[in-house]
Amino acid sequence: MNKNKTIERLIHNKPEAQLKELIFGLCKQFPDAYEYLLRWGKGEGADDINEELAVEYWEKAESIIDEFNQYGGGSDYEENEAYAYLESLEGLIPMLSWKRRQKIMDDMLVQYFRGNSGFDDILTDTCFKLCKEHEEWLYLAEQLIERGGNWDKRLVMNIYKIIGADEKFLELRKRELRYGSDYFELVDYYTNKGDKEKALAYAHKGLEQGEGRMDQIVPYLFNHYGNKDDSIELEKLFVSCDSMDKEKAYAAGRLYKYYKAKDNYENAKKYLIKEFDYIHSPKLDELFWNIKGYLNESDWQATHDKLFSDMKKRDKSAYMQR
């Protein structure tokens, strides 16, 4: 039987009241029918319908996220379903009023701050997409500052950079300095502003006071003093890295390359061997052969046994292949 023809026969010439009754009944009986009806009616010039559909998508995603928050996760099927609803919501954002976007954002932040669903990234990403105007970004920043933690402060700093609120960014960034990456954000900021003096000052401060990795700050400083051909500052920088146990292998490798380019064999040899002392496997084996290729025969014979012994302790698989 042709279902389309049957449906056409049933609704043909039916009064408006009966058609409404049919639609209401279907929506009551089958929840997905309401969403289908909204999708059918959405589009340009249908603002109310677009907003209702956005609410429908969010409420379905929210129901799943709320459950995930309660139990600390859920099924892959439900997770994918929630992502699909949020993706559908995202497509409607350009057609939503700020009042509607604000309400959805507030609800999203409630779920985000519970922090047990695994949807944190998509929730904050969607909140960012819900903002258009300067005041809307500031509203989101205020919510994150008021209720959030350290990661949320980083999100707020990103917001300040997006909207060009430099003073607010600097105030918050300078108040929240702990890791090397925190200091480097100021190095990058002042570099882009053309203030090399302040950028350099924060790079040194970060090296001395920052915690964690220095894989952005140390290269910045080596590039700065290398471009100035300032061997004294480069040597000081190595001492700082060595004494603070930060990026020691990188610092030694940079000085080896610096002196090698100047045909200063003795200093290049010194730092190449220091790099071997600090490097970790699996790069240990590669560096071993680099040293053999660079050192003259007498120096290689003098250091060969020590390097071999060190490799045996630190990288047995590479040692067994020698």
* pLDDT average, residue stretch 259-275: 96
**In angstroms, what CA-CA distances link 308 with 47, 292, 321?**
74, 11, 11
Of all residues in the chain, the percent with pLDDT exceeding 90 is 68
Q: Is the pLDDT of residue 25 over 80?
A: no
Q: Sign (positive/negative) of CA torsion 165, 171, 173, 176?
A: negative
Mean pLDDT of the chain: 87
Domain 177-276 has CATH 1.10.287: no
pLDDT of residue 321: 53
Question: Bridge-partner residues for 179, per DSSP?
Answer: 211
pLDDT of residue 320: 44
**318 or 225: whose pLDDT is higher?**
225
pLDDT of residue 279: 86
pLDDT of residue 283: 79
**CB environment 117-138: b (16+ within 10 A), e (fewer):** bebbebbbebbeebbeeeebbb
pLDDT of residue 148: 67
pLDDT of residue 169: 95
pLDDT of residue 28: 61
Q: Is the pLDDT of residue 139 over 70?
A: yes
Q: Sign (positive/negative) of CA torsion 191, 193, 197, 198?
A: negative
Alpha carbon dihedral 282, 283, 288, 293, in 10-degree steps, equals 140
Confidence bin at 1 (pLDDT 50/70/90): very low
* pLDDT average, residue stretch 102-116: 96
Q: Is the pLDDT of residue 21 over 70?
A: no
Confidence bin at 310 (pLDDT 50/70/90): confident
* pLDDT average, residue stretch 180-185: 96
Which residues 6+ apart lie within 8 Å of 154 measured at CB? none
Of all residues in the chain, the percent with pLDDT exceeding 70 is 82
Cis peptide before 282 (omega within 30 of 0): yes
Question: Bridge-partner residues for 211, per DSSP?
Answer: 179
Q: Quote the pTM value.
A: 0.76
**77 or 19: whose pLDDT is higher?**
77
Q: Is the pLDDT of residue 106 over 80?
A: yes
pLDDT tens digits along 60-98: 999 999 999 999 999 999 999 999 999 999 999 998 999
Domain ranges of the chain: 23-130, 177-276, 279-322
Q: Is the pLDDT of residue 125 over 90?
A: yes
Whether residue 226 contacts residue 195, with contact meaning beta carbons closer than 8 Å, is answered with: no
pLDDT of residue 318: 47
pLDDT tens digits along 205-255: 999 999 999 999 999 999 999 999 999 999 999 999 998 888 999 999 999
* pLDDT average, residue stretch 127-155: 92
